Amino acid sequence: MLDIKFVRENPDLVKENMKKKFQDHKLHLVDEVIAQDQELRMAQRQADELRNQRKTISKEIGKLMGQGRKEEAETVKQKVAAIAEDLTALSEKENVLRESVTNKMMQIPNMIDPSVPIGRDDSENVELERFGEPVVPDFEIPYHTEIMESLNGIDLDSARKVAGNGFYYLMGDVARLHSAVLSYARDFMIDKGFTYVIPPYMIRSNVVTGVMSFAEMDGMMYKIDGEDLYLIGTSEHSMIGKFIDTILDEKDLPYTYTSYSPCFRKEKGAHGIEERGVYRIHQFEKQEMIVVCKPEESKEWFKKMYMNTVEFFRSLDIPVRTLECCSGDLADLKSKSVDVEAWSPRQQKYFEVGSCSNLTDAQARRLKIRVKDEKGGKYFAHTLNNTCVAPPRMLIAFLENNLQEDGSIRIPKVLQPYMGMKEKLVPVK
């Protein structure tokens, strides 16, 4: 969420930012927010004046009563009662206006970084850099579920009976590989100096609206019926929520956490063949990283974070590239975002396996995450998040890039300690 003062003083900049994000349908919100904010501040001034009047007049009542002038005192009491009624009406007006302004402000997108390319959707994202040589072997690579089935490693049919589409049973070596990747990612991030955390897997509605836009919430979150709780779509939600309504000491910054969690997502809409199997699912697990830092440090942390993901994938011999998200592909709270995409030898193209985002102070402003400097001044922190790895989607890239002609799967050296020192997985079918 933007600073209301910034919107008030820079309406044209805010509108131009909306246009760059192709959200012209929201332009009216800027003028409405400014008008209602002015009305709200006027109501607050009127209320303050009435409170001062009431305080002054109330003092007269005691004097008049002490002088035995009861009738005059009763007249003054009636004035005080009238002021109280006016204050009640003004208070109700303030509440309505404040709620309306907040609601509209939460729909106005964060200011995008000047370096963000302008584009309508993800088809206009811009490649930044490639890491590793993408290889297409001279033998056919099966679809990822076929590779898993050759290892007796997946059961989608039973999962459909138990939970419906978008779920899976991972089994045997594939299940072990899934856990090994997460364990390796945990240790990889700890070695980078991040503190390991297992967070709550459910969060309250005030945290949900603090970490994401209304549109994202509707398209992603599962609500627990009858309770003020939502299943998290990523551990970023509960990890940033950890700091809700806090004042952090500047000397303790930055906070660098790496968190494990299951993730639950609605994943609305129909998807093509390449997004079936375990690519786009309702339940998966992820090793995440989040940073809470000073504003002047967030750009540096942004690059460090997505390069951690690049290094992680390269350590598993998976070629990747980084992709700068264009303006139209940025969620409302994001100022800048870079996707990490892994090479698919079967498709002979890259596909998304992680995303890194700098939200500047948008989340902190919603959640009231402030920092106190050495002089006692307060400002909003910057928050960032990034995927280290999210199997089982990552397993698609892993299996395809490490598949051998005989159907076996090569296990890179860094992963072998987590796989009982196995050097390869051998198909049973």
Contact 117, 59 (CB under 8 A): no
> Could you tell me if residue 97 is inside a domain?
yes
- What the block records as the tokens of 229 is 């709780």
Report the CATH number at residue 38.
Answer: 1.10.287.40
| Average pLDDT score over residue span 90-115 | 95
Per-residue confidence (pLDDT) for residue 17, from 0 to 100:
98
Same-domain status, 369 and 222: yes
User: Is pLDDT of 234 > 60?
Assistant: yes
Same-domain status, 30 and 140: no
**81-100 tens-digit pLDDT:** 888 888 999 999 999 999 99
Per-residue confidence (pLDDT) for residue 51, from 0 to 100:
87
Q: Considering its fold, how many domains does the chain have in total? A: 2
Q: Which of 72, 105, 138 is the last residue of a domain?
A: 105
Same-domain status, 173 and 262: yes
Per-residue confidence (pLDDT) for residue 372, from 0 to 100:
97
Per-residue confidence (pLDDT) for residue 67, from 0 to 100:
75
DSSP category for residue 187: H
Contact 305, 291 (CB under 8 A): yes
Same-domain status, 96 and 171: no
Q: Work out the pLDDT band at 351, boundaries 50, 70, 90.
A: very high
Average pLDDT over the chain reads 93
- Rounded distance between C-alpha atoms, residue 415 and residue 186, angstroms: 12
Domain with 14, as residue range(s), is: 4-105
> Could you tell me if residue 198 is inside a domain?
yes
> Could you tell me if residue 117 is inside a domain?
no
User: Count H helices, E strands: the chain?
Assistant: 13, 18
> Could you tell me if residue 68 is inside a domain?
yes
User: Is pLDDT of 270 > 70?
Assistant: no
Same-domain status, 228 and 331: yes
Per-residue confidence (pLDDT) for residue 83, from 0 to 100:
87
> Could you tell me if residue 58 is inside a domain?
yes
Same-domain status, 158 and 258: yes
Q: Which of 105, 136, 151 is the last residue of a domain?
A: 105
Same-domain status, 101 and 132: no
Backbone φ, ψ for residue 131 (5° rounding): -130, 120
Q: Work out the pLDDT band at 427, boundaries 50, 70, 90.
A: very high
> Could you tell me if residue 115 is inside a domain?
no
Per-residue confidence (pLDDT) for residue 274, from 0 to 100:
55
Same-domain status, 187 and 95: no
Nearest by Cα to 188 from 33, 355, 307: 307
Least confident of 44-53, 142-151, 199-208: 44-53
Torsion over CA: 174, 176, 177, 179 (sign): positive
| Average pLDDT score over residue span 131-146 | 95
Share of the chain above pLDDT 70, in %: 97
Tell me the pairing of strands 320-324 and 369-372.
unpaired
**168-179 tens-digit pLDDT:** 999 999 999 999
> Could you tell me if residue 112 is inside a domain?
no
User: Is pLDDT of 79 > 90?
Assistant: no
| Average pLDDT score over residue span 374-401 | 96
Per-residue confidence (pLDDT) for residue 62, from 0 to 100:
66
User: Is pLDDT of 271 > 60?
Assistant: no
User: Is pLDDT of 272 > 80?
Assistant: no
Same-domain status, 219 and 320: yes
Least confident of 22-31, 216-225, 326-335: 216-225
Same-domain status, 54 and 133: no
User: Is pLDDT of 299 > 90?
Assistant: yes
Same-domain status, 67 and 208: no
Same-domain status, 60 and 146: no
Report the CATH number at residue 276.
Answer: 3.30.930.10
Q: Work out the pLDDT band at 267, boundaries 50, 70, 90.
A: confident
Q: Which of 44, 72, 105 is the last residue of a domain?
A: 105
Query: If 0-12 CB within 10 Å is exposed, 13-18 middle and 19+ buried, where does residue 268 land?
Result: exposed
> Could you tell me if residue 295 is inside a domain?
yes
**394-415 tens-digit pLDDT:** 999 999 999 999 999 999 999 9
